[in-house]
Structure 1
Amino acid sequence: MYSKTKTTSSIETCSSELDALKQALSQADAVVVGAGSGLSTAAGYTYTGERFERLFPDFISAYGFTDMYSAGFYPYATPEEQWAFWSRYIYWNRYVPMPTDLYERLRHLVEKKDYFVLTTNVDHCFQRAGFDKKRLFYTQGDYGLWQCSVPCHAETYDNEAIVKEMVAQQADRKVPAGLIPHCPKCGAPMTMNLRSDDTFVQDAGWYAAAERYDHFVQAHQKGHVLYLELGVGYNTPGIIKYPFWQKTFSNGDALYACVNAGQTAVPKEIAGRSLCIQADLADVVRTLGQA
């Protein structure tokens, strides 16, 4: 079913594929960027190793956590401790300056094209890097938003001010009880606006972005469309990967390009109109940006 034709394993060995991708970017009538967690990892948002150990030494010492992601699911005994962890998690992954300029480099590659970004990332990096917010669809939520945990209504709330206050005032792995957020309508605890179960709130902004994305892809069913998939794995392939394959198959002039540090593959039906580059994303974007 799958082909690994045209797949390379490092930036040094994929010059022909990179040249082909440069040409595809230059000639594309439209570019649809599909971005997964691998892109943010390449930008410096690592959730394990040195960065995790530097930002969460107290939680690691107390619970033996090995990574930031799994620590977010731990059943903390009190909301004061839960929000001490999550406020720090949000702060470092959403509000501090980005570790590298990868997203800005990516913007320079597409900003003069007719483009749209579909992403499962929730760190808001695209908008922070200057991408047009009307050309972005964050399908899985945003670290910068809270929602009612019930939820009793379909609204989300900006959390920047309270998160920064929590980070400033936390001590002994706890935030002051007075900072714990509650729903302004029903009084239930607030929670992150992240898609993890059927309580995820799709607010008015979510639906507006979904509609803009749908209009974009409907307007570009024909012509030289580049479906550029960056750092997308197989956690939620039905959001980006499979639709990109299907749209490429349906449009004989489209090209599918997959760039990932890990596994890359493509269905045999579109192998002749696909580029799969297994290499460091930061290196690839940097190379594509060179004259």
Structure 2
Amino acid sequence: MCSKMKITKSTKNYSACPQIKELLNECDSVLIGAGAGLSVSEGFSYSGKRFEKYFSDFKNKYGFSDMYSGGFYPYKTLEEYWAYWSRYIFVNRFNESEKGNGVYKKLFELVNKKDYFVITTNVDHQFQKAGFDKSRLFYTQGDFGLFQCSVPCHKKTYDNEKQILQMVEQQKDLKIPSELIPKCPVCGKPMTMNLRVDNSFIEDSFWEKAAARYSTFIEKHQNKKILFLELGVGFNTPGIIKYPFWQMTLQNPVSHYVSINKGESYCPTEIQNRSFCIDEDIGKVLERL
């Protein structure tokens, strides 16, 4: 249905903040949908100066110019592969020394006294670091902090912080020691990240429970004053957050939809009278709120 809707681009700016603030105060609940743009606003870009800071040696050897491209590079050995990925995961998941812009904390301050829930395609753990209740989070695409069997031979994930830190500390000449290559404890095949990149992604028991809580939240607030707050969501995977938010807004006449995303803020004309689409930096908008 969403593909048949006529889409309109943002026409609103910071001047809409008082109206959005009023919606936040009056709504019964807030459903947050978050994409990569939220972490970019936090300061955690995968390119530019931040990439140069952490991956200039990989850039010089392999020629790629951003973290995302490095994740798809055809490394010849698992020692090289895990040298890159262990640093990638450490930088974007476990590095406590790097402080962001406080965008996630501003968001938490806005909604923590409301009945809220978060669905996100981000895998960097920033919501929990900012104080969000884990039971109110649904990480649909996985978590940098988890391993799974690459086959996969069984439906279970494993915390990887200790192994990742060892790989980062012991890598030399852009390779890790062979004995640190993570292997499945059941079948012995190589482990991989619990990230949704193909049909081998494991939806373990924790994922399934989070999905159930998300469904329960939606069912609980049907036909009530719910605010669909979409932050930093583009069109890479619109079927996870964007299209469902549009459809639920259309079906619920007392709901409202807010999209904040620099460069990509849209809504269907069918819900335009109950929508605020702001083409500005998320952090700056949250500051004004």
1:3 positional shift: 2.1
The equivalent residue for 1:202 is: 203
1:223 positional shift: 1.6
In the TM superposition, 1:210-249 aligns within 5 A as: 210-249=211-250
Which letter maps to 2:39?
S
1:16 positional shift: 2.8
The equivalent residue for 2:8 is: 3
Could you tell me how far apart the structure 1 residues matched to 2:38 and 2:11 are? 18
1:11-59 alpha-carbon deviations (Å, 9 max, x no partner): xxx3431111111111110000000000001111111111101101111
1:247-276 alpha-carbon deviations (Å, 9 max, x no partner): 001110000000001121111110000000
Which letter maps to 1:2?
I
1:121 positional shift: 0.3
Question: Which runs of 5 or more structure 1 residues have no equivalent in the other structure?
Answer: 9-13
The equivalent residue for 2:110 is: 109
In the TM superposition, 1:114-133 aligns within 5 A as: 114-133=115-134
The equivalent residue for 1:181 is: 182
Tell whether 2:162 aligns with 1:156.
no
Could you tell me how far apart the structure 2 residues matched to 1:189 and 1:131 are? 33
The equivalent residue for 2:100 is: 99
Aligned to 1:199, what secondary structure does the other structure show?
coil
Could you tell me how far apart the structure 1 residues matched to 2:115 and 2:227 are? 11
Could you tell me how far apart the structure 1 residues matched to 2:79 and 2:62 are? 16
Could you tell me how far apart the structure 1 residues matched to 2:170 and 2:102 are? 30
The equivalent residue for 1:166 is: 167
1:113-144 alpha-carbon deviations (Å, 9 max, x no partner): 00000000000111111100000000000000
Give TM-score, length-normalised by structure 1: 0.95
Question: Which runs of 5 or more structure 2 residues have no equivalent in the other structure?
Answer: 1-5
Asked whether the equivalents of residues 14 and 285 of structure 2 are also in contact (C-alpha less than 8 Å), the reply is no
The equivalent residue for 2:257 is: 256
Asked whether the equivalents of residues 7 and 264 of structure 1 are also in contact (C-alpha less than 8 Å), the reply is no
In the TM superposition, 1:37-76 aligns within 5 A as: 37-76=36-75
What is the aligned length? 282
Give TM-score, length-normalised by structure 2: 0.96
Could you tell me how far apart the structure 2 residues matched to 1:273 and 1:53 are? 42
Could you tell me how far apart the structure 2 residues matched to 1:7 and 1:70 are? 33
The equivalent residue for 2:3 is: none
- Indicate the percent of aligned positions where both proteins have the same amino acid: 56
Could you tell me how far apart the structure 1 residues matched to 2:124 and 2:14 are? 31
Could you tell me how far apart the structure 1 residues matched to 2:38 and 2:122 are? 9
1:246 positional shift: 0.5
Aligned to 2:194, what secondary structure does the other structure show?
strand
Asked whether the equivalents of residues 119 and 139 of structure 1 are also in contact (C-alpha less than 8 Å), the reply is yes
Once superposed, what is the RMSD of the aligned Cα atoms? 0.9
Asked whether the equivalents of residues 116 and 136 of structure 1 are also in contact (C-alpha less than 8 Å), the reply is yes
Tell whether 2:87 aligns with 1:83.
no
Which letter maps to 1:52?
F
Tell whether 2:268 aligns with 1:267.
yes
Asked whether the equivalents of residues 260 and 281 of structure 1 are also in contact (C-alpha less than 8 Å), the reply is yes
Could you tell me how far apart the structure 2 residues matched to 1:263 and 1:191 are? 32
Could you tell me how far apart the structure 2 residues matched to 1:15 and 1:204 are? 42
Aligned to 2:33, what secondary structure does the other structure show?
strand
Could you tell me how far apart the structure 2 residues matched to 1:141 and 1:48 are? 22
Could you tell me how far apart the structure 1 residues matched to 2:224 and 2:213 are? 19
Could you tell me how far apart the structure 2 residues matched to 1:16 and 1:55 are? 38
Asked whether the equivalents of residues 118 and 139 of structure 1 are also in contact (C-alpha less than 8 Å), the reply is yes
1:104 positional shift: 1.1
1:82-137 alpha-carbon deviations (Å, 9 max, x no partner): 10000000000001134231111111110000000000000011111110000000
The equivalent residue for 1:11 is: none
Tell whether 2:143 aligns with 1:142.
yes
